[in-house]
Amino acid sequence: MHALLVIDVQNDFCPGGALAVADGDAIISGINAIMADFDAVVLTQDWHPAGHSSFASSHADKAPYDMIDMAYGPQVLWPDHCVQGTQGSAFHPELETDPADLIVRKGYNPAIDSYSAFFENDHKTPTGLEGYLRTRGMTDVTLVGLALDFCVNYSAVDAAKLGFKTTVRTDLCRAIDLGGSLAEAKQAMRNASVILD
């Protein structure tokens, strides 16, 4: 049984959004087209409270894309994005959401960012997605969406570590590519035995 995980195809990660990924919207029709090929479709939604600790605006003397040391490790600081209930946090209007069996929200804990669909950035606090996939008999996962070098990467590495046969359709992803993050992410995924398709 094979699940499709559609990561963070939200307005703020698409052109015109607060943390726009170049050509982020170019992958949407291709994602819609493959949904019917899977036994389950799961959408994730980055979902931060206002004033989230991953926002540069929450820290004195910090700018977007600066790094900071959090209790759980180094953290990139982002422009305010995907604030709960805003238009920026909504799915892109071209994304077909009706085929989704489940929507997983993440990043709602004010003190911890959550790139991965499985665990918060402390690598310990679960979102519940693992249990959902296992109880539905899913053995394989394919990931698509935004951004390849952050949320797709972290989600794929966690999926592989949890024992799911994990594929990333890189043609249906786009990257932020911050200071070499794309090359690093590809290496991390390969090291975790993620199939890059």
| Residues lying near ligand VGL in the complex (CB under 6 A) | 8, 13, 46, 78, 115, 146-147, 150-151
* Nearest approach, Cβ of residue 82 and Zn ion (Å): 5
* Nearest approach, Cβ of residue 2 and Zn ion (Å): 27
Q: How far apart are CA 136 and CA 144, in angstroms?
A: 20
Q: How far apart are CA 149 and CA 140, in angstroms?
A: 21
Residue 129 · residue 103 · CB < 8 Å: no
* Nearest approach, Cβ of residue 32 and Zn ion (Å): 23
Q: Which is nearer to ligand VGL, 1 or 196 (CB)?
A: 196
Q: Which of residues 91-110 bind Zn ion (CB under 5 A)?
A: 107
Site string for Zn ion, 44-83 (x = CB under 5 A): --x-------------------------------------
Q: Which is nearer to ligand VGL, 142 or 155 (CB)?
A: 155
Residue 149 · residue 182 · CB < 8 Å: yes
Q: How far apart are CA 143 and CA 146, in angstroms?
A: 10
Q: How far apart are CA 113 and CA 99, in angstroms?
A: 28
Q: Which is nearer to ligand VGL, 138 or 176 (CB)?
A: 176
Total length of the chain:
197
Active site residues: 8, 106, 151
Q: Which is nearer to Zn ion, 107 or 145 (CB)?
A: 107
- The interface partner of residue 146, options being ligand VGL, Zn ion, none and the CB cut-off 5 to 8 Å by kind, is ligand VGL
Contacts of 149 (CB under 8 A, 6+ apart): 175, 176, 177, 178, 181, 182, 184, 185
